[in-house]
């Protein structure tokens, strides 16, 4: 079949896709030279294209990057099998049977977000995968991921996963997102020394001890568990971003020596003494809302603190707080206007925002 006859048999929705790829005007009829370029296409975007069949992709033996997002009528992935794809993006597109993806030997980056996936076994064959995004599916079993030893970036958010045991051997993993998955234990992460960023909000984690030796961590974000002790974080001298909210924390002393800390979000805890934070040389953002704090003055002297949130706290000593770099203060009506006025006299550069 000639490329001309192939084009004439092509559904209109696919013609639109290829016109865009060839940078032709809408409804333009491609010449022979343009048609000759189609088999050489290496990148193709079909986002919101209204396609239901991938058969035209069999004409693209060099295709390395493909975006199939937002095509709810797509039914069969078989035409993808054997393509030299390195990047595949399928967001909000029901994928059904993933078996054809298991034949993508070159695949390195896959975003399969909100794709109706429940069975991962075929992906276990994609040994070159480095970045895998599986958020908002119906995945309960992640055992197939144990074979993906090249993974560096993994997102599992909002899947019914409560056990991360399959990740124990992923020694190259640098970033893990398992937000709202029902995770109970961090033990499977204990030996993953390459980890730099973990996002585990809205899980049921009670203990940070398993990650004590992951001293290269830069981001730790955890919430809605029953964590009482931050001591396992004390040796994390590279930590820059800590989010530990809606927990049972009362003692901030373990943070006192983490000189690298820049952002701390600690709302919804039971904090007593804020003094351990005052000497942190890089701390620029601090969120302490809903923490039952009555004395804020111990924060005085925090040299780099630019933004402070203290909503829903019975603070009685705001005017005594001295912060040389403060630029923004977020409060609510729990702090009296008189206190705020006195604070403003000492810090006229501050923007006050009522939350």
| Domain membership flag for residue 68 | no
Q: Domain span at residue 249?
A: 206-355
Query: In whole angstroms, how far apart are CA 339 and each of 331, 343, 348?
Result: 11, 6, 14
Q: Each residue of 211-266: pLDDT tens digit?
A: 999 999 999 999 999 999 999 999 999 999 999 999 999 999 999 999 999 999 99
The structure's pTM equals: 0.95
| Domain membership flag for residue 310 | yes
Q: Which of 327, 354, 301 is nearest to 344 (CA)?
A: 327
Contacts of 23 (CB under 8 A, 6+ apart): none
What total number of domains does the chain contain? Answer: 1
Over residues 165-179, mean pLDDT = 99
| Domain membership flag for residue 81 | no
Q: Residue 272: what pLDDT?
A: 83
DSSP state of 28: P
Token pair 């109970």: residue: 184
| Domain membership flag for residue 320 | yes
CA dist 300 and 278 (Å) reads 6
| Domain membership flag for residue 152 | no
Over residues 197-207, mean pLDDT = 97
| Domain membership flag for residue 156 | no
CATH of the domain at 269: 3.80.10.10
CA dist 66 and 79 (Å) reads 13
Determine contact, residues 145/131, Cβ cutoff 8 Å.
no
| Domain membership flag for residue 296 | yes
Backbone angles phi, psi at 44, to 5 degrees: -145, 135
Q: Which of 40, 86, 90, 39 is nearest to 65 (CA)?
A: 86
Q: Residue 346: what pLDDT?
A: 87
| Domain membership flag for residue 306 | yes
Q: Each residue of 70-85: pLDDT tens digit?
A: 999 998 999 999 999 9
Determine contact, residues 319/339, Cβ cutoff 8 Å.
yes
Question: What does the buried/exposed string (b/e) look like for 80-105 if buried means 16 or more CB atoms within 10 Å of the residue's CB?
Answer: beebebbbbbbbbbebeebebbbbbe
């Amino acid at each position: 079949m000639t490329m001309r006859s192939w084009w004439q048999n092509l559904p209109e929705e696919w013609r639109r896709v290829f016109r865009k790829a060839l940078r032709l005007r809408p409804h333009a009829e491609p010449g022979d030279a343009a048609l000759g370029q189609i088999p050489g296409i290496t990148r193709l975007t079909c986002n919101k294209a209204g396609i239901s069949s991938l058969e035209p992709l069999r004409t693209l033996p060099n295709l390395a990057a493909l975006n199939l997002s937002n095509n709810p009528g797509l039914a069969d992935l078989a035409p993808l099998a054997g393509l030299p794809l390195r990047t595949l993006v399928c967001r909000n597109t029901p994928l059904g049977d993933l078996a054809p993806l298991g034949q993508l030997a070159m695949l390195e980056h896959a975003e399969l977000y909100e794709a109706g996936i429940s069975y991962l076994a075929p992906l276990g064959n994609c040994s070159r995968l480095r970045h895998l995004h599986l958020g908002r599916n119906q995945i309960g079993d992640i055992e197939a991921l144990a074979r993906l030893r090249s993974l560096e970036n993994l997102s599992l958010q909002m899947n019914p996963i409560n056990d991360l045991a399959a990740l124990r051997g992923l020694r190259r993993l640098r970033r893990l997102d398992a937000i709202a998955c029902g995770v109970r234990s961090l033990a499977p992460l204990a030996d993953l020394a390459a980890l730099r960023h973990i996002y585990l909000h809205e899980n049921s984690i009670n203990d940070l001890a398993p990650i004590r030796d992951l001293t290269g961590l830069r981001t730790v974000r955890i919430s809605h568990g029953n964590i009482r002790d931050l001591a396992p974080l004390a040796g994390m001298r590279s930590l820059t971003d800590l989010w530990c909210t809606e927990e049972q924390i009362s003692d901030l002393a373990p943070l006192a020596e983490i000189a690298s800390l820049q952002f701390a979000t600690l709302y919804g805890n039971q904090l007593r003494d804020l003094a351990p934070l005052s000497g942190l040389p890089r701390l620029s953002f601090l969120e302490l809302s809903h923490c039952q704090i009555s004395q804020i003055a111990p924060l005085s002297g925090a040299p780099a603190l630019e933004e402070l949130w203290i909503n829903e706290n019975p603070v009685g000593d705001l005017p005594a707080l001295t912060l040389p770099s403060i630029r923004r203060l977020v409060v609510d009506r729990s702090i009296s206007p008189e206190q705020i006025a006195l604070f403003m006299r000492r810090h006229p550069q501050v923007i006050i925002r009522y939350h």
